[in-house]
A and B are shown apart, each in its own frame.
Chain A
Amino acid sequence: MIENYLPILILIGVAIILALLLISLSRIMGPYRPNVMKLRPYESGMDPVGQARERYSVSFYLVAMEFIVFDLEIVFLYPWAVRFVKLGVGTFFAMMLFLVILFLGLIYTLKKGTLDWDFKQIKK
């Protein structure tokens, strides 16, 4: 059973040996002239301006809230819709209550301005 994995072991060995061989060959045979500039980032020959890790808002938080509102709604609506008649009147009102609560959440996010990105920029 374990012998079946012998080709994989050989493959790993060959890969490691080949990689080491190629790296050491190019190091031994090719020219090796390190300098400071070779370690610097390439920015068309200029000094890099600012940090690469800049933070910028994509309104992700609000979109995520919106997504959760509709996602949860769908998750609970589908099973209920399949068994709609069998589950009866009580479940119907329970679902309506659930929908109302989520609808209130939707109104809350809308009031917070989830869908008014452009409007906010124009106001500035």
Chain B
Amino acid sequence: MGLESALGEGFLTTRVDSLVNWARSNAVWPMPMGLACCAIEMMAFAGPKYDVSRFGSEVFRFSPRQSDLMIVAGWCTYKMSHAIRRIWDQMPDPKWCVAMGACASTGGMHRCYGVVQGVDNFLPVDAYISGCPPRPDAVINALMKIQDKIKTEHSVLLDT
């Protein structure tokens, strides 16, 4: 408070953490890991009607090098899980993960030997979305949850 009164009108002070988190939470670029029908809802989530650019996430990156949020949309087989894990490893930190739909969250109706029973077996999932497939509103809700999580995180000077 002291600094603001010394600077006078028109100045705003904040913490670096808050500033970085504010920037990060409003520019969450998704990596669309579309595996099944959920991917169609994910496209609707990015499209004009649901318009996720209101939340700064319209920039779907098709390379893990530039993305912050992996949306695993659809059921994941054991064979595919290695590829997903590698793409996750290739994403730069900090990164977040959303398991979209029943199949990605728990295996869903695919209760069989070939399907991973939830991608949280090999990924650190931050938000789960229920539904088969979920509505785009639900994906936006998950994105808002991720944004809330980012805003509470300690973000700078983690690995120096």
Complex formed: what's the CA distance from A37 to B93 in Å?
13
The number of residues on chain A lying at the interface, defined by a beta carbon within 8 Å of a beta carbon of chain B, is: 14
In the assembled complex, the Cα of A32 lies from the Cα of B82 at a distance in Å of: 23
The proximity string for B residues 142-160 relative to A, scoring 1 for CB distances below 8 Å and 0 otherwise, is 0000000000000011111
Name A's B-contacting residues (CB within 8 A). Answer: 28-33, 35, 37-38, 40, 42, 44-46
B20 within 8 A of A: yes
| B89 and A38 form a contact (CB under 8 A) | yes
Binary A-proximity of B80-106 (CB < 8 A = 1, otherwise 0) = 001111110110111000000000000
Distance in angstroms from A41 CB to nearest chain B CB is 9
Q: With A29-B20, A35-B89, A37-B90 in contact, do A42 and B159 touch (Cβ < 8 Å)?
A: no
CB distance from B108 to the nearest CB of A (A): 22
Interface status of B64 (Cβ within 8 A of chain A): yes
* Secondary structure of the B contact surface, majority rule: helix
CB within 8 Å: A-B pair count = 42
| Docked-complex contact A29 and B65, CB < 8 angstroms | no
Q: Which residues of B contact A42 (CB under 8 A)?
A: 63-65, 87, 90
**Contact between A46 and B160 (Cβ–Cβ < 8 Å)?**
no
Q: B16 contacts the other chain (Cβ, under 8 Å)?
A: yes
Do most interface residues of chain A lie in helix, strand or loop, or is the interface mixed? Answer: loop
Q: Is the CB of A28 within 8 A of B90?
A: no
Q: Which residues of B contact A44 (CB under 8 A)?
A: 83, 87
CA distance A19 to B94 in the complex (A): 22
B82 touching A45, Cβ below 8 Å: yes
Instruction: Give B70 Cβ to nearest chain A Cβ, in Å.
Output: 11
B111, chain A: closest CB distance, angstroms? 25
When chains A and B are docked, how far (Å) is the Cα of A114 from the Cα of B75?
Answer: 53
Interface contact A29-B90, CB-CB below 8 Å: no
